Amino acid sequence: MDAQNKEVDALVQKITRLHAAISKLPSLSPSPDVDALFTDLVTACVPASPVDVTKLGPEAQAMREGLIRLCSEAEGKLEAHYSDMLAAFDNPLDHLGVFPYYSNYINLSKLEYELLARYVPGGIAPARVAFIGSGPLPFSSYVLAARHLPDTVFDNYDLCGAANARASKLFRADSDVGARMSFHTADVADLTDVLATYDVVFLAALVGMAAEDKAKVIAHLGARMADGAALVVRSAHGARGFLYPIVDPQDIGRGGFEVLAVCHPDDDVVNSVIIAQKSNDMHANGLRNGRGGQYARGTVPVVSPPCRFGEMVADVAQKREEFANAEVAF
């Protein structure tokens, strides 16, 4: 325990120093200094860690909240920079690889699709999907539309009109995915009846950065989405909670959803993924008693990434075959 405490203390001290350095930057637009500091931050936060950021003291919590806001601002500027760069090409979608983290979006979207396919009863074949918080580089919607959901229409929502203008330019030369993408400038709190028309709603990690704000967004979705519709919520786990907000599955249960699966990747996919389904019964119970039912912290169905589970099963089958052959040979 002492060794773990020392490890956590050392990590918090390192993150605090990085936060102080980032706070002193004159701008968070892409530059060698900005890139170097955020690379150091991500490198410190991604490895597995015993830290539980929800249990940090008040001073460390305030630092973490400020750091997440800085990360959000820097991420927005980085995406705007690369969106403008991509828009200069005749067909921007042919050059998405110029963004240094594009492969992360490919892997995250693949994970989300596989979790939906595995854990939503009856599988998924959505006609309409909403992505809340799509930003100037809507890579998640694009990857899902191009690789996993070829017949689905995507409505992308963002608070920033400039972000939507940038995003729409990326699809101008594409007659397939571009025809299935639309961009809307709106606050999720202002979306009402339209939410009932979506089969799946994705909630970006940085929509509602404070826990209470995220809970309000989820409750609003729970009040408006159709019964049986799926919700995909991006969260964080361990030290990755210094980069993105952590979503308590209990808040999702209180919002009127049944939590189907929680996945904490341990690779270059930084975000955790929570899969839930709108349930009128859960919503009524949540309004009545204000509790999250069976979805108290520590009792949620935490699962491995489907692809990794498949690899483990294949590996076990291979080992069994090798063992059987060895017995025969003996």
Domains of the chain, by residue range, sit at 1-91, 93-282+296-303
Give the model's pLDDT for residue 4.
Answer: 83
Mean pLDDT of the chain: 89
Task: Examine the pLDDT at 290 and tell me if it is beyond 80.
Answer: no
Query: Hey, which bits of the chain come out as E strands?
Result: 128-132, 153-158, 181-185, 200-203, 230-235, 257-263, 272-278, 302-303
What is the model's pLDDT at position 285?
58
Query: What number is the average pLDDT over the span 256-284?
Result: 90
The answer to whether the Cα torsion of 118, 120, 122, 128 is positive or negative is negative
> Does the pLDDT value for residue 1 go beyond 90?
no
CB 214 within 8 A of CB 207: yes
**pLDDT band, very low/low/confident/very high, at 325 (cuts 50, 70, 90):** very low
pLDDT bracket for residue 2 (50, 70, 90): confident
Q: In what order do the strands lie in the sheet with 181-185?
A: 181-185, 153-158, 128-132, 200-203, 230-235, 272-278, 257-263, 302-303
Q: Which fold has domain 93-282+296-303?
A: Rossmann fold (3.40.50)
The DSSP call for residue 294 is T
| pLDDT greater than 50 at residue 275 | yes
For the ranges 135-139, 205-209, 306-310, 311-315, the maximum mean pLDDT occurs at: 135-139
Going by pLDDT thresholds of 50, 70 and 90, the confidence category of residue 298 is very low
**Is the predicted pLDDT of residue 37 greater than 90, yes or no?**
yes
**Region of residue 303 (phi > 0: left; psi between -120 and 50: alpha; otherwise: beta):** beta
Mean pLDDT score, 170-196: 96
Do 259 and 286 touch, CB atoms closer than 8 A? no
Cα distance between residue 174 and residue 234, in whole Å: 28
CB 203 within 8 A of CB 233: yes
Alpha helix (H) ranges present in 120-240? 139-143, 161-169, 211-224
Give me the pLDDT at residue 123, please. Answer: 82
Highest mean pLDDT among 79-83, 300-304, 308-312: 79-83
How many separate helices (H) and strands (E) can be counted in the chain?
10, 8
Q: Which of 181-195, 226-240, 268-282, 305-319 has the lowest mean pLDDT?
A: 305-319
pLDDT at residue 280, as a whole number: 73
pLDDT given at position 41: 98
230-235 and 272-278 strand pairing: antiparallel
Which residues lie across from 231 on neighbouring strands? 201, 276
Residue 303 has pLDDT above 90, yes or no: no
pLDDT at 67 over 90: yes
Yes or no: say if 202 and 166 are a contact pair by the CB < 8 Å rule: no
What per-residue confidence (pLDDT) applies to 159?
96
Q: Assess whether pLDDT exceeds 70 at residue 292.
A: no
* pLDDT value of position 297: 42
φ/ψ region of 228 (left if φ > 0, alpha if ψ in -120 to 50, else beta) reads: left
Contacts of 213 (CB under 8 A, 6+ apart): none
Question: Exposed, middle or buried: residue 82 (CB in 10 Å: 0-12, 13-18, 19+)?
Answer: buried
- Tell me: pLDDT of 5 over 80: yes
> What sign for the dihedral angle of Cα 146, 147, 151, 152?
negative
In this predicted structure, what is the pLDDT of residue 269? 93
Give the pLDDT of residue 137.
97
CA distance 203 to 68: 17
Q: Could you tell me what percent of the chain has a pLDDT over 70?
A: 87
**Predicted TM-score of the model (pTM):** 0.87
